[in-house]
Chain A
């Protein structure tokens, strides 16, 4: 069942699970873009608004921090870098490095924004079936000219098929190579070769087989559009989301001004 746990999706019946995937995608985009301008208070409001949703997935702040720990480390480094490089009135200094108030504020704000964007992305991933992602991508790309959205949709479907398969096969290949003492090889190029080449050969053959099977099943690009299952609360979520974004923009007039003027 490795393929089920690989993607972060958790089956469930919460309001977020039932929400139409197009609305969910739209809200994620809207909030992420608003966060780009958001000031401190706006970030705080956004986090408070999101917290019930986080709890509804059975997650706590600690879970979030643990799941994002690698990325959080990057954020902390980034905030620290800002703190020492942005000029302003010094708060205190360690060794010869001066830490400024403005730098500290800016660094924390940038880190907070990224953290919230990551949290939103995670909420989306946890509550959305990978197959629905495909439908949403296809739906949003449909009005974009020169992008063959049905082909993109099918590529995502095929990717979802191949990903667990290849991951499992990569493990098997590694085992087979180890069984023949391949891992004792010193030459790194040969090590890459002995791991990757059998994997590629096998999967390319599987891919060819699949395209043959698809041809046999009348594959065509003139396909039936994907189906969506709205849960009925789309309007409430959209209004609440829009309200939140508007509130956040109003709260962060200062940083909006900084970007535009």
Chain B
């Protein structure tokens, strides 16, 4: 087996009043599509914010290619890109192109190279036609894809998405699922944190389940874990509830 990109090692984060997360262990390998599922308040967001050192653990640690993620923060955050849940409050730029360029500007990339990479990324994610638009005027789905473009432009090893399907209508969700799948097929490692697994469960290569106490209770193939989701406060996908196998539309 190849070396993992990320190793999460006995990670705990205690909150003064709340649950936090407790003794989390798992590894992330290149090319995986990991679904991190759990009810609201189970600590999904807390957990993924440790991955790029936005939060500091109470105990335990995370290693990126064998070194602690805190060793080189710029490298860590460039390698592990994060798309936040609220699409509106993560936009910095005044135009779509500028928004995508933000990360590269932070890395002090030469302007010509930035232009080239931004154009490439926008066309990869089908946003080229909106290049000069004000991000505030985009639809919910477009904003979500713009946020992904802003991360993708920095060539991350892993893209982490926090509740990417929240507040999206059906066509936008479909479009987003397609985008994520395409990236994964191209070799991009993906982690999606969500409380509703319906859209993506058949596409993920691995399913992690956090219970409402913040413990990692399951880690396995999605197909094998179907049927026991309700027990952990996660809604069973429709097809599984009805006793069917996975529908083909997602592939």
Please report A residues at the B interface, Cβ cutoff 8 Å: 1, 3-4, 129-131, 157-158, 160-161, 164-165, 206, 209-210, 212-220, 222-225, 227
Q: Is the CB of A3 within 8 A of B134?
A: yes
Closest to B55 in A: A212
Q: Which of B13-21, B63-71, B81-89, B181-189 participates in binding chain A? A: B81-89
Q: With A157-B94, A223-B105 in contact, do A216 and B137 touch (Cβ < 8 Å)?
A: no
Q: With A209-B86, A217-B150, A222-B108 in contact, do A157 and B54 touch (Cβ < 8 Å)?
A: no
Q: Is the CB of A4 within 8 A of B134?
A: yes
Q: Is the CB of A218 within 8 A of B108?
A: no
A247 shortest CB reach to chain B, Å: 38
Q: Is the CB of A210 within 8 A of B74?
A: no
Which among B86, B88, B92 has the greatest number of chain A C-beta atoms within 10 A?
B92
Binary contact track B39-63/A, C-beta < 8 Å → 1, others 0: 0000000000000101000000000
Q: Is the CB of B92 within 8 A of A164?
A: no
Q: Is the CB of A220 within 8 A of B134?
A: no
**Contact of B107 with A by CB under 8 A:** yes
State the interface size on chain B (CB cutoff 8 A).
35
Q: Is the CB of A210 within 8 A of B52?
A: no
Residues 74-102 (chain B) with a chain A CB within 8 angstroms: 74, 77-78, 81-82, 84, 86, 88-95, 98, 102
**How far is A225 from B111 in the complex, measured between Cα atoms in Å?**
8
Specify which chain B residues have a CB less than 8 angstroms from the CB of A216 in the assembled complex. Answer: 52, 54, 77, 81-82, 84
Q: Is the CB of A219 within 8 A of B134?
A: no
10 tightest Cβ-Cβ pairs between the two chains A and B = A213-B90, A209-B89, A131-B94, A224-B105, A218-B106, A217-B103, A206-B89, A216-B82, A223-B105, A220-B106
Closest to B160 in A: A216
Q: Is the CB of A217 within 8 A of B77?
A: yes
Q: Is the CB of A158 within 8 A of B92?
A: yes
Q: Is the CB of B105 within 8 A of A210?
A: no
Specify which chain A residues have a CB less than 8 angstroms from the CB of B92 in the assembled complex. Answer: 157-158, 161, 210, 213-214, 217
Specify which chain B residues have a CB less than 8 angstroms from the CB of A129 in the assembled complex. Answer: 94
Q: Is the CB of A210 within 8 A of B111?
A: no
Q: Is the CB of B111 within 8 A of A1?
A: no
**How far is A30 from B110 in the complex, measured between Cα atoms in Å?**
32
Residues 107-156 (chain B) with a chain A CB within 8 angstroms: 107-111, 114, 134, 136-137, 150-151, 154
Binary contact track B167-190/A, C-beta < 8 Å → 1, others 0: 000000000000000000000000
**How far is A193 from B3 in the complex, measured between Cα atoms in Å?**
57
Q: Is the CB of B86 within 8 A of A217?
A: no
Which among B78, B89, B91, B109 has the greatest number of chain A C-beta atoms within 10 A?
B89
Known: A216-B52, A217-B92; 8 extra A-B contacts, CB below 8 A, are A4-B134, A210-B89, A213-B92, A217-B103, A218-B78, A220-B108, A223-B105, A225-B111
**How far is A216 from B91 in the complex, measured between Cα atoms in Å?**
12
Specify which chain A residues have a CB less than 8 angstroms from the CB of B110 in the assembled complex. Answer: 224
Specify which chain B residues have a CB less than 8 angstroms from the CB of A4 in the assembled complex. Answer: 134, 137
Q: With A131-B95, A206-B89, A209-B89 in contact, do A217 and B106 touch (Cβ < 8 Å)?
A: yes
**Contact of B104 with A by CB under 8 A:** yes
Q: Is the CB of B84 within 8 A of A212?
A: yes
Q: With A131-B98, A161-B91, A213-B89 in contact, do A218 and B154 touch (Cβ < 8 Å)?
A: yes
Q: Which of A157, A164, A210 contacts B90 (CB 8 A)?
A: A210
Q: Is the CB of A218 within 8 A of B94?
A: no
Q: With A4-B137, A131-B94 in contact, do A213 and B108 touch (Cβ < 8 Å)?
A: no
**How far is A148 from B145 in the complex, measured between Cα atoms in Å?**
33
7 A–B pairs (Cβ distance < 8 Å), ordered by A: A3-B134, A3-B137, A160-B94, A215-B77, A217-B150, A218-B77, A224-B114
Q: Is the CB of B111 within 8 A of A209?
A: no
Q: Is the CB of B104 within 8 A of A224?
A: yes
B71 shortest CB reach to chain A, Å: 15
A249 shortest CB reach to chain B, Å: 38
Q: Is the CB of A212 within 8 A of B54?
A: yes
Q: Is the CB of B84 within 8 A of A213?
A: yes
**How far is A164 from B134 in the complex, measured between Cα atoms in Å?**
12
Q: Is the CB of B103 within 8 A of A3?
A: no
B89 shortest CB reach to chain A, Å: 4
Closest to A168 in B: B136
Closest to A223 in B: B105
A76 shortest CB reach to chain B, Å: 37
